[in-house]
């Protein structure tokens, strides 16, 4: 039973009791009895009227309570003409206006944030209280190699990619640069925020590959230019002086002449080697833009196999070629592409042991042309892998550390995607994926 019904029943019962009492007391005096009964009737009518007025005052408050429960802040409550109730209604209406404006503002900000996250090149991953993925924007899905809707509810350690594994082990408020296949570098940061009084984590992923490549390129180009200038001037002048000194060999005794000429020849030879060594660095800096033309990948790969076959045979390594027919044709600078194949295949031959195998494959995948060089070597040591495309880094005693740098520059200029993967135990694969035809 509602409060109104209970109050109405109370008034009727109370007045009925008073009316019955008055009847028993004043039934001998009918005039007074009629007067008292009339007063009771008027009192009951006044009580009912007062109850109705109170009800009219409570109806807006009940409506306000319902609107609050439904989170409806767009509807305003009308005043009823009762000062006390109207003040409460005024407070409610102002509060509803403020909540409606705040909700609209939050919705607009959330919409803006959602649009920014959708087009942002940086990846954003938000974890729930149990360290499971609750949100990942399109960039994060792309960087983690997953499709839309495939990360929700997973722990990062269960995603199964090197980047996800690095993110799973990232300490709170830590920032690291994670090396990935194909000379890619990813800056990853883990942060935290409060949600209902408890801490949750978020992860930011930013591709640094091109930024670091440009920074490295600017640094080594400046170094190479300075080195080439100084070495070139010194070598040229020194070689000229030594060759001039050979003219005095005829004035020496016969027994000393041969030793003198041999010493000068050794010095000149070393200067020539130093000049060629420096020229190798300068070639990377002076790499010309590619001149694309139709390039048959089958023909290009066969020429490299022919070139390196004697080296492979001398080391007891099987050099194999696997070309999908008809052989793919791409728009590329054949000379530069063959330089890529030479560098990568020579590295593969050096990695494979005697009795091992190096295979060059050419084909199509998903409507795009690709080539791959695989060797049966022991793989790439984990401490070496992050530095493979770093200028001047080499695991060879006489290596300059610019072979893969040159490969990277050529493939970047051709807009090719490439990866170098060598898990412990092998095999090691260098894969090039050419851009889709326009």
Which is more confident, 364 or 240?
Answer: 364
CA distance 342 to 106: 59
pLDDT reading at 269 higher than 80: no
pLDDT digits (tens, 9 = 90+) for 273-303: 667 666 666 666 566 788 889 999 999 999 8
pLDDT reading at 378 higher than 70: yes
Model pLDDT, residue 390 = 66
Q: What is the mean pLDDT of residues 412-433?
A: 87
Q: What is the mean pLDDT of residues 38-67?
A: 72
What is the DSSP secondary structure assignment for residue 253, as one 8-state letter? Answer: -
Categorize the per-residue pLDDT at 361 as very low, low, confident or very high, splitting at 50, 70 and 90: very high
pLDDT reading at 372 higher than 90: yes
Model pLDDT, residue 43 = 74
Question: In angstroms, how far is CA 383 from the centroid of its own chain?
Answer: 23
Q: What is the mean pLDDT of residues 366-392?
A: 80
Query: Does 427 sit behind a cis peptide bond, omega within 30 degrees of 0 on the bond before it?
Result: yes
- Taking the model in full, what pTM does it have? 0.52
Phi, psi of 263 (to 5 degrees): -65, -40
The arrangement of strands across the sheet holding 428-433 comes to 318-323, 357-365, 368-375, 428-433, 417-421
The arrangement of strands across the sheet holding 175-180 comes to 133-136, 123-127, 198-207, 184-195, 175-180
pLDDT digits (tens, 9 = 90+) for 24-35: 676 676 677 677
Model pLDDT, residue 426 = 78
pLDDT reading at 415 higher than 80: yes
Q: What is the mean pLDDT of residues 143-153?
A: 79
pLDDT above 90 covers a percentage of the chain that reads 10
Model pLDDT, residue 369 = 92
Categorize the per-residue pLDDT at 139 as very low, low, confident or very high, splitting at 50, 70 and 90: confident
Categorize the per-residue pLDDT at 362 as very low, low, confident or very high, splitting at 50, 70 and 90: very high
Model pLDDT, residue 11 = 65
Q: What is the mean pLDDT of residues 226-245?
A: 69
pLDDT above 70 covers a percentage of the chain that reads 75
Which is more confident, 235 or 354?
Answer: 354
């Amino acid at each position: 039973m509602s409060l109104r019904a209970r109050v109405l029943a109370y008034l009727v019962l109370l007045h009925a009791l008073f009316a019955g009492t008055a009847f028993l007391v004043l039934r001998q005096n009918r005039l007074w009895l009629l007067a008292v009964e009339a007063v009771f009737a008027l009192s009951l009518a006044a009580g009912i009227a007062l109850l109705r007025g109170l009800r009219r005052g409570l109806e807006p408050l009940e409506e306000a309570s319902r609107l609050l429960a439904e989170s409806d802040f767009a509807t305003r409550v009308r005043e009823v003409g009762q000062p006390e109730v109207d003040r409460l209604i005024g407070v409610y209406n102002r509060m509803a206006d403020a909540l409606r404006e705040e909700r609209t503002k939050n919705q607009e900000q959330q919409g803006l944030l959602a649009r920014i996250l959708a087009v942002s090149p940086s990846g954003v991953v938000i974890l729930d209280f149990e360290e499971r993925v609750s949100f990942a924007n399109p960039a994060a899905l792309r960087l983690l190699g997953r499709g839309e809707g495939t990360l929700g509810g997973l722990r990062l350690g269960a995603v199964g990619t090197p980047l996800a594994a690095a993110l799973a082990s990232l300490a709170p408020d830590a920032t690291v640069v994670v090396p990935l296949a194909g000379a890619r570098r990813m800056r990853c940061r883990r942060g935290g925020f409060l949600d209902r009084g408890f801490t949750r984590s978020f992860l930011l992923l930013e591709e640094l590959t091109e930024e670091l490549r440009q920074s490295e390129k600017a640094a080594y180009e400046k170094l190479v230019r300075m080195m080439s200038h100084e070495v070139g001037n010194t070598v040229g002048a020194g070689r000229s002086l030594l060759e001039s000194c050979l003219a005095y060999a005829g004035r020496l005794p016969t027994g000393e002449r041969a030793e003198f000429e041999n010493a000068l020849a050794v010095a000149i030879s070393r200067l020539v080697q130093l000049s060629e060594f420096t020229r190798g660095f300068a070639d990377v800096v002076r790499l010309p833009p590619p001149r694309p033309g139709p390039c048959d990948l089958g023909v290009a790969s066969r020429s490299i196999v022919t070139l390196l076959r004697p080296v492979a045979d001398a080391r007891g390594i099987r050099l194999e070629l696997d070309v999908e027919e008809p052989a793919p044709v791409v728009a590329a600078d054949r000379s530069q592409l063959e330089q890529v194949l030479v560098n990568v295949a020579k590295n593969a031959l050096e990695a494979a042991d005697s009795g091992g195998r190096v295979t060059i494959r050419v084909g199509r995948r998903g409507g795009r042309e690709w080539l791959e060089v695989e060797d049966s070597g022991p793989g790439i040591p984990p401490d070496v892998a992050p530095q493979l495309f770093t200028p001047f880094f080499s695991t060879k005693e006489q290596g300059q550390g610019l072979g893969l740098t040159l490969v990277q520059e050529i493939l970047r200029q051709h807009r090719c995607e490439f990866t170098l993967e060598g898990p412990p135990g092998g095999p090691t694969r260098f894969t090039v994926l050419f851009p889709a035809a326009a």
